[in-house]
Structure formats: C-alpha cells, structure tokens
C-alpha cells in the first residue's frame, strides 16, 4: 500500500514559502523552480499546488494543469539554454526512483553528445541557479 501524503515534505515547504527556491513560474495550480542538485544545466521541476505524492493519487485536473505548465516551462528552458532537445521524466515511490514525495516533473535541456548527469548528485551554486532561473523567466516573458 502507498504511504499517505506527508505535508512536511520539502516541496510542500517550498509551496508554503517556508524554504526558498529559485522560482521560474507560478499560476493558480502549479509552481516551477530550479532543481538544487541539477543533472544538467537548466534542470527545472514543475509541481502541482494540490497535495499529491505522485502520478497515481493526483486528480486529473491537477495533472492537466501540470502538463500545461510542463509544456510552457519546457519551451522556455529549451530557448533559455539553446538546447538541442529535452528530457522530461517523473518518478513514483522509492522503487521508481522518487526521493521527494510531492508529485514533480523533471525538465532537462539536452545537448547533442552530452550524457545526462547523476540523479541527486552535488548541490549547485546558488548564484548559478539564480542566474539560470532568471534566464528561464526571461524566456517565459519573451514567449
Ligand atoms: P525525485 O527523485 O524525482 O523525487 O527527485 C527529487 C528532486 O528534487 C531531485 O532532483 C533533487 O535534486 C530535487 N530537490 C531536492 N530538494 C530540493 C529543493 N529544496 N529545491 C529544489 N530541488 C530539490
């Protein structure tokens, strides 16, 4: 049986403004921010505001809002980093590779011939993440 949603998870704390994040986009139903341990330059996460552990317990309405934001932010990320392509993925439960138990979708700009970095590797420099977030926000504003 799947565990219950824990409102003390780190993304719930980001949503409540209890801990900081390099935010790039927000609307009534979703939030997007930079991943602090990026698997590559421009690694961005999209989460619903409604509590859900993962894909299986989210409402269809929340998933639809997440999908729309993923597309919007993915376009901006691709532009901001002049990427050749994008990898978009989402993990469910520890067996599926999930480490933070609030539904999130990963968006990673990809470059021809460059391998994907390690999942939850090193912490990125805060100033670099702030710069990357500003680049994505600028691409969103321009789009
Ligand atoms: P997952 O394995 O899909 O649950 O991945 C969780 C992701 O959240 C990882 O890529 C982490 O680097 C990222 N992460 C963990 N804590 C934070 C945080 N405070 N702010 C932004 N990203 C985070």
Residue 83 DSSP code = -
In a domain, 1, yes or no: no
Number of domains in the chain: 1
In a domain, 28, yes or no: yes
Mean pLDDT rounded to a whole number for the chain: 96
53's CB contacts (< 8 A; 6+ apart) are: 2, 3, 4, 5, 92, 93, 101, 102, 103
Cα separation, 78 vs 85, in Å, equals: 7
Each residue of 26-44: pLDDT tens digit?
Answer: 999 999 999 999 999 999 9
In a domain, 105, yes or no: yes
Each residue of 7-31: pLDDT tens digit?
Answer: 999 999 999 999 999 999 999 999 9
Give SS3 for 113: coil
Each residue of 66-111: pLDDT tens digit?
Answer: 999 999 999 999 999 999 999 999 999 999 999 999 999 999 999 9
Contact by Cβ (8 Å): 67, 103: no
Backbone angles phi, psi at 73, to 5 degrees: -70, -35
Closest ligand 1 atom to the C-alpha of 37?
12
Contact by Cβ (8 Å): 109, 81: yes
Domain span at 20: 10-142
User: Is residue 1 over pLDDT 70?
Assistant: no
Closest ligand 1 atom to the C-alpha of 100?
4
Give the CATH number, domain containing residue 34: 3.30.428.10
Structure-block tokens of residue 134: 């500003």
**Residues marked as catalytic:** 104
Percent of the chain at pLDDT exceeding 90: 92
- Give Cα 79 distance to the centre of its chain: 17
């Amino acid at each position: 049986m799947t565990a219950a949603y824990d409102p003390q998870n780190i993304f719930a704390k980001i949503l409540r403004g209890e801990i900081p994040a390099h935010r790039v986009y927000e609307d009534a139903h979703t939030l997007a921010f930079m991943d602090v341990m990026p698997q590559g330059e421009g690694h961005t996460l999209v989460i619903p505001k409604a509590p859900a552990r993962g894909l299986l317990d989210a409402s269809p309405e929340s998933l639809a809002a997440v999908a729309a934001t993923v597309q919007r932010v993915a376009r901006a990320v691709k532009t901001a980093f002049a990427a050749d392509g994008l990898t978009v993925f989402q993990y469910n439960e520890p067996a599926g590779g999930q480490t933070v138990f609030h539904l999130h979708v990963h968006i990673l700009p990809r470059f021809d011939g460059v391998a994907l970095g390690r999942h939850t590797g090193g912490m990125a420099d805060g100033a670099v993440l702030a710069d990357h977030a500003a680049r994505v926000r600028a691409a969103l504003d321009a789009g």
